[in-house]
Structure 1
Amino acid sequence: MSARERSGWEELTANDPNHSSWYVDRFRTLAADGTDIVGEARLVDAMLARGSHVLDAGCGPGRIGGYLHEAGHTVVGVDIDPVLIDAAREDYPGPTWQVGDLAELSLEQREFDAIVSAGNVVTFLAPSTRETVLANFASHLATDGRAIVGFGANRGYEFADFLRDAEKAGLTPDALFSTWDLRPFREGADFLVAVLSKSDHDSASVR
């Protein structure tokens, strides 16, 4: 059996064991300084009814899932890095935080109203697992659920390739933006926020 391909984040932290702690401290400092670190969460919250179920996929130290919990949603956060999960549990009690590989995602909660993957998470995925991760998103979405994925350009995952992988995985774009504050996506944009729904739901809705 071949060894599992390590994700970009695993490679990064293997090369710099202090990186995860630095990342946690960075967001704690930004929050303490009054910097807005939850713009992504506000967008997701605006799309949801109160009390929705949300999966924070690649949750990091919990800033997005923590906000959504405080807004009244039931949140599960998953990240491959145990240092980041420990920080999420400490800073944002309430959601269910767990260490896990998005390429092997199989949660007891199978129908989330929203799955959010921010912070360039998809660009850290091992290339061989990208389509598998997106298929896992599709399998964990409720019929009317949406996945919201945001990442920057020039990070090793072309926007066109991502959208092609999403289609193969059973996710259809409902809307594309170039920022988390909903500026329209245009050719040459340096960021993509994709709002995706399950392809079978789209096809069923037009029958």
Structure 2
Amino acid sequence: MTATDNLWLRKIAEDPGHSQWYIDRFRTMAARGDDLGGEARMIDAMLPRGARVLDAGCGTGRVGGLLAAAGHDVTGVDLDPELIAEARRNHPGPRWEVGDLSELDLPGLGLPERFDVIVCAGNVMTFAAPDSRVEILRRFAAHLSSTGRAVIGFGSGRGYDFDTFLADAATAGLSPELQLSTWDLRPFTPSADFLVAVLAPKA
């Protein structure tokens, strides 16, 4: 994968300070008391205590850090080393790894157990190279337990329409259990400009 394939890597190539800008943006939001925990609250409600969670495209650990604080066993993966370094500084409990989601192989890193939930928030799937998206979803399916679920959220108008995403998920072996328009559980409608999809491995 090259920097022109992945939108996040392209942004870094165009502006080497982009990652720090992103870090500073969320520090500012946290400092003024913005609610940054909506995704984590939804995921926590889906799980028993001590569940295994993969925060896929974890960034600075915003979601995974809260889930770890709630008592879950969290691993986070992101391709940006600066964001992973920030996650390790702010949330020292979980395991944070630099990695490309299209090459996800956590058993190869000594993490053989599968996950109860994979959460992929923050429009991560729209930053991925288009030809890597099915493979990312396939890797998610391979890392889920038999009863596990992948929860993926992203907005419209970002070059990845919802129908194409659901078709890609089916190709990757994931079936939709629930479709929402927000992380606070509002139903998905044809006019929705955001999708939160709860996907399960096909039987």
Q: What TM-score, normalized to structure 1?
A: 0.94
Please state if 1:24 is matched with 2:27.
Answer: no
SS at match of 1:48: coil
Structure 1 residue 4, shift from structure 2 partner: 8.8
The aligned amino acid for 1:151 is F
Within-5 A mapping of 1:1-207 = 6-108=5-107, 109=111, 110-200=113-203
- Percent identity between matched residues is 58
Deviation track 1:1-33 (CA, whole Å, cap 9, x = no partner) reads: x97973111111111111100101111111111
Q: Is the 8 A contact 1:146 1:197 kept in 2?
A: yes
Runs (4 or more) in structure 1 with deviation over 2 Å come to 2-6
How many pairs were matched up? 199
Q: Is the 8 A contact 1:149 1:193 kept in 2?
A: yes
Question: In structure 1, what is the Cα distance between the partners aligned to 2:140 and 2:3?
Answer: 20
Q: Is the 8 A contact 1:57 1:79 kept in 2?
A: yes
Q: Which runs of 5+ in 1 are unaligned?
A: 201-207
Question: In structure 2, what is the Cα distance between the partners aligned to 1:12 and 1:188?
Answer: 30
Q: Is the 8 A contact 2:3 2:13 kept in 1?
A: no
Q: Is the 8 A contact 1:5 1:128 kept in 2?
A: no
The aligned amino acid for 1:126 is A
Q: Which runs of 5+ in 2 are unaligned?
A: none
Q: What TM-score, normalized to structure 2?
A: 0.95
Q: Is the 8 A contact 2:3 2:9 kept in 1?
A: no
SS at match of 1:98: strand
